[in-house]
Chain A
């Protein structure tokens, strides 16, 4: 099976712009989670989608949003970019939602730089 893919891999934006990141989960996986990773804050949970519905949300402002399509592919959007949004954004897929025994399979990440 193909792994989790994320596009684009690298992105440079300026403050105030918006950005959309895409994630294609492993075939058959219905849960997609998004994480932000920065040197200072580590891995922070953004949100989780299952069956096209947001099931869990981390502590991030409303500028961060996402959605999931019927084929389980997911996008996340960040509006009005700030310098602090520069980070590695990781997508992970798993068979079902947030079950602690499920392994999450991670994509390579999208490196976002905000200038």
Chain B
């Protein structure tokens, strides 16, 4: 399977703490995106990081990409209860149009 791996599978933190999620993939990729899914609902786009970028910020989100290690991480700083959701990375292999999702990290932020 070309599906990416994300770790941890589940993460529980206190409100105000930082949350870090990782995504690893097996092939060379074009770009990588992160999405959030609230329980049983559609996905919402968070951030795109291009293959030639190493780090990107958007509000409380920080994404890194290490193409040599075939991995990306998503950091949410100063977490809030509203951040409780599942987070997925999505990417397409170099030369491919097909978009693949990682297995996701379920984040629980305890008030």
Chain A interface residues toward B at CB < 8 A = 4, 33, 35, 42-45, 48, 55-56, 58, 88, 90, 92, 97-101, 103-109, 111
Give the chain B neighbours of A99 by CB distance below 8 A. Answer: 97
Confirm or deny: B67 has a beta carbon within 8 angstroms of a beta carbon on chain A: no
Name B93-109 residues within 8 Å CB distance of A: 97-104
Give the chain B neighbours of A58 by CB distance below 8 A. Answer: 98
By the criterion CB–CB under 8 Å, are A48 and B48 in contact?
A: no
Chain B nearest CB, measured from A114 CB (Å) = 17
Confirm or deny: B41 has a beta carbon within 8 angstroms of a beta carbon on chain A: yes
Chain B interface residues toward A at CB < 8 A = 3, 29-31, 33, 35, 40-45, 48, 50, 88, 90-92, 97-104
Chain A nearest CB, measured from B50 CB (Å) = 7
By the criterion CB–CB under 8 Å, are A105 and B30 in contact?
A: no
A6 (CB) vs chain B CBs: closest residue: B42
Selected contact of A45 from candidates B40, B99, B103, B104, CB within 8 Å = B99
Considering the chains assembled together, what is the distance between the CA atoms of A19 and B39 in angstroms? Answer: 24
By the criterion CB–CB under 8 Å, are B42 and A98 in contact?
A: no
By the criterion CB–CB under 8 Å, are B97 and A109 in contact?
A: no
By the criterion CB–CB under 8 Å, are A56 and B98 in contact?
A: yes
Give the chain A neighbours of B48 by CB distance below 8 A. Answer: 101, 103
By the criterion CB–CB under 8 Å, are A43 and B104 in contact?
A: yes
B44 (CB) vs chain A CBs: closest residue: A106
By the criterion CB–CB under 8 Å, are B41 and A108 in contact?
A: yes
Considering the chains assembled together, what is the distance between the CA atoms of A56 and B92 in angstroms? Answer: 12
By the criterion CB–CB under 8 Å, are A108 and B98 in contact?
A: no
A97 (CB) vs chain B CBs: closest residue: B97
By the criterion CB–CB under 8 Å, are A103 and B99 in contact?
A: no
By the criterion CB–CB under 8 Å, are B40 and A111 in contact?
A: yes
By the criterion CB–CB under 8 Å, are B101 and A109 in contact?
A: no
Give the chain B neighbours of A107 by CB distance below 8 A. Answer: 42
Give the chain A neighbours of B40 by CB distance below 8 A. Answer: 88, 109, 111
Chain B nearest CB, measured from A53 CB (Å) = 13
From B40, B42, B43, B98, name the one whose CB has the most chain A CB atoms within 10 angstroms.
Answer: B42
Selected contact of B43 from candidates A55, A90, A101, A111, CB within 8 Å = A90
